[in-house]
């Protein structure tokens, strides 16, 4: 006898992916905002020192490849989860992920702007990541927890 998939596992995976995408995106743009406000030293790094700035830059570069592929994975996992539990919610999910994909080039743009131009635009993109992440979480939490409860079939 075939067991039905656990919808809670898909929801947890989707929430984890949302957190892995939205929180680092917001933190990165928030860091760029901070870097734009702090005067630079002659060596080109902001006041915390070259060591902290270089460490953050290395972490950002290491995470960038995973982070750039994450919205595609997020789109697929979320749509599969929502089609199983709440058939009417997947277009909202897709629209929110596409809005998040639109934020990615802006987040990367703030990396190359340098300390003289980063600042308020980076803060706006950071808030955008938090808003899209909150919308994705709200869509997932609004979906029913059990299979079949959104389309009239008895719950499993």
Q: Distance from first CA to last CA of the chain, Å, rounded?
A: 14
Number of residues in the chain: 156
Burial 57-75 (b: 16+ CB within 10 A, else e): eeebeeeeeebeebbeebb
Q: What is the mean pLDDT of residues 122-140?
A: 90
pTM above 0.75, yes or no: no
CA gap 79, 49 in Å, rounded = 44
pLDDT tier, 156 (very low <50, low <70, confident <90, very high otherwise): very low
Secondary-structure percent of the chain, ordered helix, strand, coil, rounded to 5: 70, 0, 25
pLDDT in tens, 65-122: 677 788 888 888 888 888 888 778 888 989 999 998 888 787 777 665 554 555 778 8
CA gap 85, 39 in Å, rounded = 51
Q: Within 13 Å and on the Cβ side, how many CA atoms surround 8?
A: 1
Domain ranges of the chain: 7-142
Residues contacting residue 78 through CB under 8 Å, at least 6 positions apart: 14, 17, 90, 93, 97, 136, 139, 140
Residue 89: which of 102, 97, 72 has the closest Cα? 97
Sign of CA dihedral 82, 88, 93, 95: positive
């Amino acid at each position: 006898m075939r067991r039905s998939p656990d919808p809670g596992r898909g929801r947890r995976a989707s929430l984890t992916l949302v957190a892995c995408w939205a929180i680092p995106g917001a933190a990165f743009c928030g860091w760029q905002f901070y870097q734009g406000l702090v005067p630079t030293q002659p060596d080109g790094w902001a006041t915390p020192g070259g060591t902290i700035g270089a460490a953050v830059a290395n972490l950002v570069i290491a995470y960038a490849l995973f982070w750039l592929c994450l919205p595609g994975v997020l789109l697929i996992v979320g749509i599969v989860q929502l089609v199983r539990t709440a058939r009417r919610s997947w277009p909202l999910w897709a629209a929110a992920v596409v809005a998040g994909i639109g934020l990615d080039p802006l987040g990367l743009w703030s990396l190359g702007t340098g300390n003289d131009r980063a600042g308020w635009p980076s803060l706006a993109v950071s808030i955008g990541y938090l808003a899209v992440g909150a919308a994705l979480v709200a869509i997932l939490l609004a979906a029913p927890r059990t299979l079949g409860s959104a389309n009239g079939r008895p719950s499993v």
